[in-house]
Amino acid sequence: MVALLRHIGRQQEQAPISENIAVPYLKEMNFSYKRYRYGLKKRNQKAFERARSVIEELGRLDHEHQCELLYFDESGFSPNPPMQYGWPWIGQTRSNEPLAHRQRVNVLGALRHNEQLIWTTQQRPTRREDVIAFFDQIADLPHSVPRIVLLDNAAIHKGEEMEKHRRRWAKRGLHLYYLPPYSPELNRIEILWKHAKYFWRRCLAVNGADLLNEIQSLMKGFGTEFTINFA
């Protein structure tokens, strides 16, 4: 966008013009302002609908205090968030590639159906043993009803080691429910990640320590300073 404004300014032999003035030019050249999306592969719609029905039933049981439903996922935060919107040609779908950053904070989170959040942060890539340790932490929390954790099919969420621990967790009242592939809409914590990245962050972090403090403040403030209407 900045480069385009400069180009238009050079063509008119004057200083770069403002975005408000540039918008008519962009529309005249058949651009439209829309959100960039990450492409999803085609999913099994029947499996998606079946999983959605299961989650609705689990939500009802959670409301009646017959189980505890948690939505689990990991997310990474970089000093500069990825571009969410841009100007593609009208009728053209643009996808955005995530940027590589040397400084990054990764968060593991489990969002309760009542919007309580369990989380931890780390400044290195998340590995399978991190997921196992996090689920051990959840299993150790006091509970009187079965605890159901929804999660996707990421490689670090599966494997022989996970299956071994899964049987042990089941004996402690913690059960895993894997969502169908390519179904992020079914995982409520995805909405939390979106808000944290695009609406709550001030993006003032300039180094690893600042970024860690910023993300930890966001996680601590969820439910009080930062809220979401999931309805």
Predicted local distance difference test score (pLDDT) of residue 99? 47
- 199-208 contacts, C-beta under 8 A, 24 or more apart: 200/226, 201/77, 201/81, 203/79, 203/80, 203/81, 205/79, 206/79, 207/103, 208/103, 208/105, 208/123
pLDDT in tens, 96-143: 555 455 678 999 999 998 889 999 999 999 999 999 999 999 999 999
With the C-alpha atoms ordered 47, 48, 50, 51, is the resulting torsion angle positive or negative?
Answer: positive
CA distance 176 to 153: 11
Report the interhelical angle of 19-28 vs 2-11 (nearest 10°): 80
Confidence label for 75 from pLDDT (cuts 50, 70 and 90) = very high
CA 118 to chain centre: 15
- For the chain, give every domain's residue range: 2-30, 45-83+99-221
210 in helix, strand or coil?
Answer: helix
Question: Is residue 207's pLDDT more than 60?
Answer: yes
Residue spans of alpha helices (H) in the chain: 2-11, 19-28, 45-63, 128-140, 160-171, 189-195, 208-221
Q: 145-167: per-residue pLDDT in tens?
A: 999 999 999 999 999 999 999 99
Q: pLDDT band for position 16 (50/70/90)?
A: low
Place of tokens 């159906």: 113
pLDDT tier at 14, thresholds 50, 70, 90: low
What is the homologous superfamily of the domain 45-83+99-221 according to CATH?
A: Ribonuclease H-like superfamily/Ribonuclease H (3.30.420.10)
Query: What pTM value is reported for the model?
Result: 0.76
Percent of the chain's residues with pLDDT above 70: 73
Strand 68-77 to strand 174-178: parallel, antiparallel, or no bridges (unpaired)? Answer: unpaired
